Amino acid sequence: MTIQLPHRRSVIKAAAATAALAAVSSPAPAAAAAGPAFLHGVASGDPLPDGVLLWTRVTPEPGAVPGSGLGADTVVTWEVARDAAFAKVVARGSVTARAASDHTVKADVRGLRAATRYWYRFTAGAATSPVGRTRTAPALGSPVGGVRFGVVSCANWEAGYFASYRHLAARGDLDAVLHLGDYIYEYATGAYATTGGPVRPHVPAHEILTLADYRARHGTYKTDADLRALHARHPLIAIWDDHEIANDAWSGGAQNHDPATEGDYAQRAAAGRQAYFEWMPVRPSVEGTTYRRLRFGKLADLHLLDLRSFRSQQADAASGAVDDPERTITGRAQLDWLKSGLSASQATWQLVGNSVMISPLSFNGLPPALLGPLAKLLGIPAGGAPVLTDQWDGYTDDRRELLGHLDANAIRNTVFLTGDIHMAWANDVPARAAAPSSAVEFVVTSVTSDNIDELLGVPPQTLSVVASQAVRAVNPHVKWVDMDSHGYGVLDLTAERSQMDYYVLSDKKSPAATSTWARSYRTLSGSQRIEQADAPVL
């Protein structure tokens, strides 16, 4: 199937955006009526050329809150149409929502047309869900003029409001939104760094450990109007990082897990993963993880990683174990899968959804006055070698093998898309600090999670300006870093270039926060290097 090149898309004006958003998303009612109700919105995800995954959660009766295990089996009907009025329904079906899946439901709809916008909704009894809008991917092997993604990570409920999601929801030019992890946070209320205290408390208030806890936390997040609007407007493509289970998670444990007081980690991780797949519009992939691959015509292949389920425990940086070839961040099977997918791809761009930074970072030579605050924010161990062992810097043999594979096979136009670090970065990606660049990396900042100025209680653009200059001085492959802002990115792809536009919020603690373009960086096809762009793509 061959499609025509898409027409030029632009960001819709504010008034039009508000009207369109209202048409597909409405505030959730405060509580369920006597019959079934849709209190957590609708969502779509993992777009394919012939289909998309639809999601919702039905509340069968008032007491059947997320994680309660209460509520009768409820038949939920779904419909997909070519128009918002549902005059042209093209697919419909039904599924039963059960307590065993927390009354969440998914419909993996197939038989749709490629590169096409659709509307969808659910019904249960007399209740009808809000209307969602989605879009299928371009046909495999088809010419595609451009693809555009919103890019986000790190949304701490207690640290602020999700205005980034609202601004992305208001855009009419996105093919999908890529969430790079930390969609939820697991901490108890007040337990995680939040300057000035929680803006709004977590539910449940204690640290989440059980399946019921994780379900309740996911349910709380999906009461946020901006998050529901994002899901209702664009298909989501998501991977998890650590906070979907516990901080600095690895295959056998986590920094924020004490078996003596919190029980078996494997049971906790299984609960977190089950709740994630119940509540997210994501298809489980290999071994029930989030690594998988999506394709967008001839333009881009998107390789999505799971960097928590198979990794070795984080090393003591001073021990030299970060270079141990027996240690891994990906696991053998996933690294082989990624390498073979990169080699086999015929797409112009190789996008890698990557939850932690792959670019090497050196902090040697930074004065203690700067290294101390950065260590507090980034998790660098006090004393010893200043290495971020939770990132690819803690697993250098996997990074060497992957980047060596790119170089040895002349795989060009590889772009790593990264979150986790609560800062925005634009990097070349050498195997080591002074080596030639093998790829590029765009890192988006956090939606709300605290960054350096907030953790230290200093005004923005004070210490961070000096620190960013110092980091760039010892890491010349780092072209830009913003240590203060919160916001999101918009990645725009054409055959000629890949460009990330960085947007920042006026105030993460304001539900009405405005959004402003900050910087843009791009890499030209074949260059494998970052350069600054003069303006965002509109």
- The pLDDT assigned to 265 comes to 98
pLDDT band at 87 (very low <50, low <70, confident <90, very high): very high
Residue 466 has phi, psi (to 5 degrees) of -65, -40
The CA distance from 475 to 428, in Å, is 10
Residue range 83-111: average pLDDT?
A: 98
More confident residue, 192 or 262: 262
* Cis check: omega of the bond before 204, within 30 degrees of 0: yes
Cβ atoms < 10 Å from Cβ of 68: 16
Non-local (6+) Cβ contacts of 56 within 8 A are 38, 40, 41, 42, 43, 76, 104, 105, 122, 129
User: CA Rg, the chain, in Å?
Assistant: 22
pLDDT tens track for 331-365 = 999 999 999 999 999 999 999 999 999 999 987 76
- The pLDDT assigned to 382 comes to 59
Q: Which domains does the chain possess? A: 137-533 (3.60.21.70)
pLDDT tens track for 459-517 = 777 777 888 888 898 899 999 999 999 999 999 999 999 999 999 999 999 999 999 99
- The pLDDT assigned to 457 comes to 74
Tell the burial category of 78 from Cβ atoms under 10 Å away from its Cβ (0-12, 13-18, 19+). Answer: buried
pLDDT tens track for 207-238 = 999 999 999 999 999 999 999 999 999 999 99
Mean pLDDT, rounded, of the chain: 90
Percent of the chain residues topping a pLDDT of 90: 79
Question: Taking 60 as the threshold, does the pLDDT of residue 56 lie above it?
Answer: yes
Is 344 within 8 Å of 333 (Cβ atoms)?
A: no
Is 251 within 8 Å of 311 (Cβ atoms)?
A: yes
Strand residue runs (E) in 309-372: 349-354
Percent of the chain residues topping a pLDDT of 70: 90
The CA distance from 229 to 23, in Å, is 10
HSE on the CB side for 363, CA within 13 Å?
25
Residue range 376-395: average pLDDT?
A: 76
Q: Give pTM, 2 decimals.
A: 0.92
The CA distance from 250 to 257, in Å, is 11
- The pLDDT assigned to 271 comes to 97
- The pLDDT assigned to 41 comes to 98
- The pLDDT assigned to 10 comes to 35
Question: Taking 60 as the threshold, does the pLDDT of residue 19 lie above it?
Answer: no
The CA distance from 176 to 134, in Å, is 8
pLDDT tens track for 132-152 = 999 999 999 999 999 999 999
Cβ atoms < 10 Å from Cβ of 279: 25
CA nearest neighbour of 448 among 151, 40, 163, 149: 163
Cα separations (Å) of 250 from 71, 254, 265?
35, 6, 10
Residue range 109-122: average pLDDT?
A: 98
The CA distance from 415 to 170, in Å, is 26
Is 417 within 8 Å of 180 (Cβ atoms)?
A: yes
- The pLDDT assigned to 33 comes to 54
